[in-house]
Amino acid sequence: MKNRAAKLLLALVLCLSLILPAFIATAEEENEYLKPYDEPITITWSVPTSAVQQFFNGDTYENNVWSRLIKERLNINIEVAFSADNSTDMYRNKLNTTLATGDLPDIVKWATITQYRQAQEEGYLADLEEVWEKYASPELKAYRDRYPDSFNAVTVDGHLFGFPYMEDNFHNAAFLWIRDDWLKNLNAEPPKTIDEMVALARRFTFEDPDQDGVNDTYGLGMQGMVATNNVGTLEGFAGAFGVPGHNDTGVFYRDKEGKMTFGWIQPGMKKCLEIARDMYKEGLIDPEFTALNTSTMEAQVTNGTIGMMYHMNWGTWHPFNYSYQADGVITRPYPIPLAEGYEPLMGINSNEIGDFYTTVSANCEHPEALIKILNLYEEVVMRGTPENFETYWANEQYRLSPAYIGIPTELFAPEIHAALAAGTGEGLTGTAAEYYKYVTGFEDGSLADNTNAYGTWGQMFVDGYGGSMKIALEYKDKGWLVQNVLASEMPDIWLQNSSVLADMVETTFVDIIVGNKDLDYFDEFVKNWLAAGGQETLDWLDAKYPAE
């Protein structure tokens, strides 16, 4: 009898457990996350245009897959308040005018943290804390817990004022990218140490790796801005010598002894410059590299002048896609070659720093609209069907949504790697499943012409060394990554002198490599750098972010 009652109870509970989620689900339907407005509302936004943006079927910035989807699902008319080119200063200038007049569109995407902060301090921005609590879907809310650093940049006294680019910057470290065909032609192995790297560069320079009988190649690709840009810089090279550097600002961090310090002034840098100088003298680097910029550098990649280059995780998206499209050349990422006696360190941006800070004007009558758009984006792109992913994310379409979320690669990558190792994509959903299809499609040749597939493949493939994401995860596990401490808040001295300090870094490094200055000038550079505002910045950071 007792047993029977227990069984009955169990059965009841089981039944209920089947039904209850359904109830909860219906309850959720009635929630506000994606509820369309009864009357159509209009939301204007500032559009940072970009040369890489692609349009299909006559779409425009005014009328495109996202504006139609948002209208259909949420009954919001998305309108362009103004658009300007974000690859030049146009967009930033336009935003400055907006700041001066205070006449903001409903949704503003700030291009720099400085601009966002000015707008926030002026009270131009809506406090989103309340609408976030009420309207954000549980999946969207998870992002705030996952990326506390990112959200820290847009949170004032616990109140949310906008959305950062939600992602973990761990993958922005440097890798050594090498052409497959040259390695094969010379029967060479990818280098594991700096000495091997130099030796390979020598062979790439003098042993005619492209087998055209002409001495027209260089070992290591490098450009004139050796410390500031992304493509072909000293970033990964110096990383081997325990010098974390990252584009624009360089990296401030607390070293092993707990002292606040700066990447480019580390003693290991001197050794790195010595080797680079010797490589230059020997002709392993283009004698005219100082005159190269990112785009002329990319031309060298496309026409097969260089075989090896330090670059970031997205190499197969840009610029190695050019040589792939032109000649079918595969270029792969490898972990940076190491230097004996040095512990490698690589710099990444603070997670507070992203590409845009998306905010809502204080005058907007529907601040929740932005949250709803993000709910929609999260559902369609992160958990949607493959067709959705193709339509709304691929080919740069995601940029057309007034607000978007970065693909959380650090979560997807291990899943995809496991699936690739197991040989089956079952169990993968949403973005991860798409990525898996791209990688396998590229490997078996069915997607060989798809640039999205080659791009994804370079980041995700698992085969011997693995794509850039696998390497980045290894860097992370080994503790080689340091986050820049200098983030959304900067001292006045840095704001004022940073371009002078950056010039010092650039000119000193280039001058030493080409032989305009002695190697020992490095010591003088360190002194000058500290005196010209570097020390003051270090002290400010030391006080602001005390050692734990």
Partner 1 sequence: MTNRKPKIKWKRELSLVVMLIPALVLVIIYRYGSMLGVVMAFQKFSPAKGFFRSPWIGLNNFRNLFTMPNIWQIIYNTVFISFFKMTLGIIVPVVFALLLNEVASLRLRRTFQTLVYLPHFLSWVILAGIFADLLSKDGIINLTLTSMGLQSVGFLSDQKVFPWTMIISDVWKGFGFGSIIYLAALTGIDQNLYEAAAIDGANRWKQTLHVTLPGITSTVVLMTVLSLANILNGGFDQIYNLYRPVVYETGDILDTFVYRLGIDNAQFSLSTAAGLFKSAISCILIVISYRLADKFAGYQIF
Site string for partner 1, 119-158 (x = CB under 8 A): x-xx-x----------------------------------
Candidate residues 507, 521, 535, 545; the one interacting with partner 1 per rule CB under 8 A: 507
* Residue 214 binds partner 1 (CB under 8 A): no
3-state secondary structure 243-267: CCCCCCCCCEEECCCCCEEEHHHCC
Q: Which is nearer to partner 1, 211 or 296 (CB)?
A: 296
* Residue 498 binds partner 1 (CB under 8 A): yes
Q: Which is nearer to partner 1, 48 or 224 (CB)?
A: 224
* Residue 495 binds partner 1 (CB under 8 A): yes
* Residue 336 binds partner 1 (CB under 8 A): no
* Window contacting partner 1 (CB under 8 A); options: 97-105, 132-140, 368-376, 461-469: 97-105
Closest CA to 335 of 233, 192, 460: 192
Can you state the angle between helices 409-422 and 451-460, rounded to 10 degrees? Answer: 90
CB burial string 357-396: b at 16+ within 10 A, e below: bbbbbbebebbbbbbbbbbbbbbbbbebeeebbebbbbee
* Residue 112 binds partner 1 (CB under 8 A): yes
* Residue 287 binds partner 1 (CB under 8 A): yes
Candidate residues 62, 212, 278, 288; the one interacting with partner 1 per rule CB under 8 A: 288
Are 310 and 468 within 8 A, CB to CB? no
Q: Scan residues 462-491 and list those touching partner 1 (CB under 8 A).
A: 490
* Residue 500 binds partner 1 (CB under 8 A): yes
Q: Which is nearer to partner 1, 224 or 315 (CB)?
A: 224
* Residue 511 binds partner 1 (CB under 8 A): yes
Closest CA to 503 of 151, 201, 165, 227: 227
Candidate residues 260, 345, 510, 541; the one interacting with partner 1 per rule CB under 8 A: 510
CB burial string 175-203: b at 16+ within 10 A, e below: bbbbbebbbebbebebbeebeebbebbbb
Q: How far is the CB of 532 from partner 1 (least distance, A)?
A: 5
Cα–Cα distance measured from residue 356 to residue 162, given in angstroms and rounded to the nearest whole number:
10
Cα–Cα distance measured from residue 434 to residue 428, given in angstroms and rounded to the nearest whole number:
9
| 244: Cβ contacts below 8 Å, ≥ 6 apart | 251, 253, 263, 345, 346, 347, 482
* Residue 528 binds partner 1 (CB under 8 A): yes
3-state secondary structure 50-97: CCCCCCCCCCCCCCCHHHHHHHHHHCEEEEEEEEEECCCCHHHHHHHH
* Window contacting partner 1 (CB under 8 A); options: 356-364, 396-404, 465-473, 508-516: 508-516
Site string for partner 1, 49-88 (x = CB under 8 A): ----------------------------------------
* Residue 185 binds partner 1 (CB under 8 A): no
Are 260 and 247 within 8 A, CB to CB? no
* Residue 455 binds partner 1 (CB under 8 A): no
Q: How far is the CB of 211 from partner 1 (least distance, A)?
A: 21
* Window contacting partner 1 (CB under 8 A); options: 111-119, 254-262, 346-354, 430-438: 111-119
* Residue 530 binds partner 1 (CB under 8 A): no
Q: How far is the CB of 357 from partner 1 (least distance, A)?
A: 14
* Window contacting partner 1 (CB under 8 A); options: 39-47, 409-417, 434-442, 504-512: 504-512
Q: How far is the CB of 118 from partner 1 (least distance, A)?
A: 4
Candidate residues 499, 546, 547, 548; the one interacting with partner 1 per rule CB under 8 A: 499
3-state secondary structure 332-397: EEECCCECCCCCCCEEECCCCCCCCEEEEECCCCCCHHHHHHHHHHHHHHHCCCHHHHHHHCCCCH
Closest CA to 249 of 78, 447, 485: 485
What residues make contact with partner 1 under the rule CB under 8 A?
Answer: 89, 92, 96-97, 99-100, 102, 112, 114-115, 118-119, 121-122, 124, 224-226, 286-288, 290-291, 293, 296, 490, 494-500, 502-504, 506-507, 510-511, 514, 516, 528, 531-532
